[in-house]
Amino acid sequence: MVGLSDVKRWNTGQLDAIFKTVQQRLQVLTHSGDDFGKVIPVADWSGPAADNARSAHSNLMFRIDKMAAGASIVGKAIGQAADAITGVQQAIAGAEELARKYGYQIADNGTVADLYPEGQAPPELHPEDRARAKTEVSDAITQALRTADDIDRDLASVLQRAQQGEFGTGNEGTVTAAAADGSLDPGLTLLEPPKDGSPSQNAGWWSSLSPAGQAILLRDHPDWLGNLDGLPGGVRSQANIARMPAERASLQHQLDEAKSYVDQVKDMAWPPPGMLSDALAKEDAITAKLKSLDAIDATIAKGERQLLTLDTSGERVKAAVAVGNVDTAEHVAVFTPGFTSTVDGSLKGYDNDMQNLLTQSQGISNVYGNHGGVAAVTWIGYEAPQTADVLNPDKSVGSDDLAKIGAHKLDGFLNGLGASHDIHDQPLHLTALGHSYGSLTTGIALQQPTPVHDAVVFGSPGLDMQTPNDLKVPQGHMFSEWSDRDPVPRLDIAHNFGTSPYQGISGGSVASIEQLSTGDATGANGQPLHATHEHGQYLDNNSTSQYNMASVVAGRPDLTVHYTQPWDVPAAPPAPGEPVPAPPGTDPTPPPRPR
């Protein structure tokens, strides 16, 4: 395998010069060769000498044709190599810059060395951020060398095959045709993404490709790219949108087959028990998937949207849609909804909520922040529990099984955003938002290292934590909201989902979880904010709850409105008919606002 120092010394200028020389010589060869090809036959020349001349001419033309075909593909491969090496060297330079930023140095053998003695890094370089950056640098170098090795092997193979005369048939008719035949060979091929790659490995692989190589993969293999955590959002979106027609055609074919099967079952005199209901359920599931694609199309059609995830496998379609540009925005929020959320039934409403949240956050950032751009993602990247599965222990909202599956995917998505920003030296302030069962999914995801700086959970049944210290979120940057008439935070009496983020609140917080107000309040600029009361109202526009989230997303949690008095979660839910006590700071009398 090639070494880092070798790749850094590779001279693309010399390759470009060789490429131009080969092209010039090939042009001379084709013109002269075609002229030479016209020399024989000579009119009225026959006999042994003529036969010998024709044989010699034929042999020479065969060799010239093979030479032209080989020269054509060699020139092409050298040009491809020069372009590809540029991408690799730029990736290495980017990794070196990221290493310097976090106090590391890349040795000639590719290892990443710490420039600071243990525990002596500057305080602004958080240990978890440094650890993540070290992994990203190491993965970027590994992937750059992997790509470089592929370039080296591919180019060597082309040169060897050309030397052995493996290109062209030697009987193309003209030397020009032989050269064209040789250029049909693909030459250098593009390296596939790392198998089961982590987000930082995927980011390193993508950055090691040249823009031309990236464009080819977008054109030919969008299925490789659309759901690959670590790639830029714009790339993922372009790939996923390109995949939509084929996904729709496949689902339509499945639906046609499902309907045909339903008709066959209906025609049976005595179908086995459950056969018809199962067939109808399958038809309904495929129909819901097609409706999910309709919802995605309608959302993307609004403009300024990115389709970051598209997964039609499983029982339901999974998708993540961003309002704004996650690649250029400094402040990115990822919202995970909960119980009963689906792409076909929920994406439209939540996308509107994210648009409103973005508008609020951008306004706060413009006035009180650093004017950094904002993007907000509706992440329905897992199959949330549904009402029909309440009694199914594997899929019930009373179990954390689906949350754990979703958390693994969410963890990859969050780390993918961080890796993509880091590898392209784009600042990122990442906020995780979780509602209801989605807060459980978020809480489990945040128990693994992620680049999340702030998190807000609302209407939460729990986070599967024992203590807030289980959450790998910076101290003082974990927030919770609970509206006064929302029963969900009271439902997990047995603490199946760990310690409640509202349990034992003292002084307006649960240890390091800060409790934010959902009552009537006034914003930082004096704007009136209305209370929210019900489980589905936290994202209502111009509410205190939404304002608090927007402040956090904009990187200004100091502007949030907190509860002003301590209050505790009751040990048991209120008796039937007994009113739910309101937390201080909320007004229980106004009717709930319609959603």
pLDDT tens digits for range 191-210:
999 999 999 999 999 999 99
3-state secondary structure of 438: helix
Q: Residue 574: its pLDDT value, please?
A: 40
What does the alpha-carbon distance between residue 183 and residue 72 come to, in Å, rounded to a whole number? Answer: 5
Question: Is residue 498 left, alpha or beta, with left meaning phi > 0 and alpha meaning psi from -120 to 50?
Answer: left
Domain span(s) for CATH 3.40.50.1820 in the chain = 236-559
Q: Is the pLDDT of residue 589 over 60?
A: no
- In whole angstroms, how far apart are CA 105 and each of 93, 102, 113, 545? 12, 9, 5, 44
Q: Percent helix, strand, coil in the chain (nearest 5)?
A: 50, 10, 40
Residues 330 and 429: beta-carbon distance below 8 Å:
yes
Residues 233 and 325: beta-carbon distance below 8 Å:
yes
386: which 2 tokens? 């549904």
Q: Which amino acid is residue 209, in one-letter code?
A: L
- Quote the percentage of the chain above a pLDDT of 70: 93
What's the pLDDT band for 588 if we cut at 50, 70, 90?
very low
* Mean local confidence (pLDDT), 5-29: 94
Say which residue the tokens 């909201």 belong to.
481
Secondary structure E strands in 168-301:
none
Question: What confidence tens digit (pLDDT) does each residue in 45-76 have?
Answer: 999 999 999 999 999 999 999 999 999 999 99
Q: Residue 503: its pLDDT value, please?
A: 67
Give the residue from 351, 367, 377, 440 showing the smallest Cα distance to 403.
Answer: 440
**DSSP notation for 161-184:** HHHTT-SS-S-SSSHHHHHHHHTT
Give the residue from 334, 489, 333, 307 showing the smallest Cα distance to 409.
Answer: 334
* Mean local confidence (pLDDT), 100-121: 91
Q: Residue 511: its pLDDT value, please?
A: 59
* Mean local confidence (pLDDT), 10-39: 94
Architecture of domain 236-559: 3-Layer(aba) Sandwich (3.40)
Question: What confidence tens digit (pLDDT) does each residue in 549-574 have?
Answer: 999 999 999 999 997 644 444 333 34
- In whole angstroms, how far apart are CA 453 and each of 235, 328, 336, 460? 24, 17, 16, 20
Q: What is the pTM of this model?
A: 0.89
Sheet holding 513-516: strands in order across?
305-311, 318-323, 374-380, 331-336, 429-435, 452-458, 478-481, 513-516, 509-510
55: which 2 tokens? 């044989």
Q: Residue 495: its pLDDT value, please?
A: 74
- The overall average pLDDT reported for the chain is 91
Q: Residue 564: its pLDDT value, please?
A: 60
**Residue 427: is the preceding peptide bond cis (ω within 30°)?**
no
* Mean local confidence (pLDDT), 531-556: 96
Q: Residue 569: its pLDDT value, please?
A: 42
What's the pLDDT band for 500 if we cut at 50, 70, 90?
confident
Q: Is the pLDDT of residue 279 over 50?
A: yes
3-state secondary structure of 498: strand
What's the pLDDT band for 81 if we cut at 50, 70, 90?
very high
Q: Residue 493: its pLDDT value, please?
A: 63
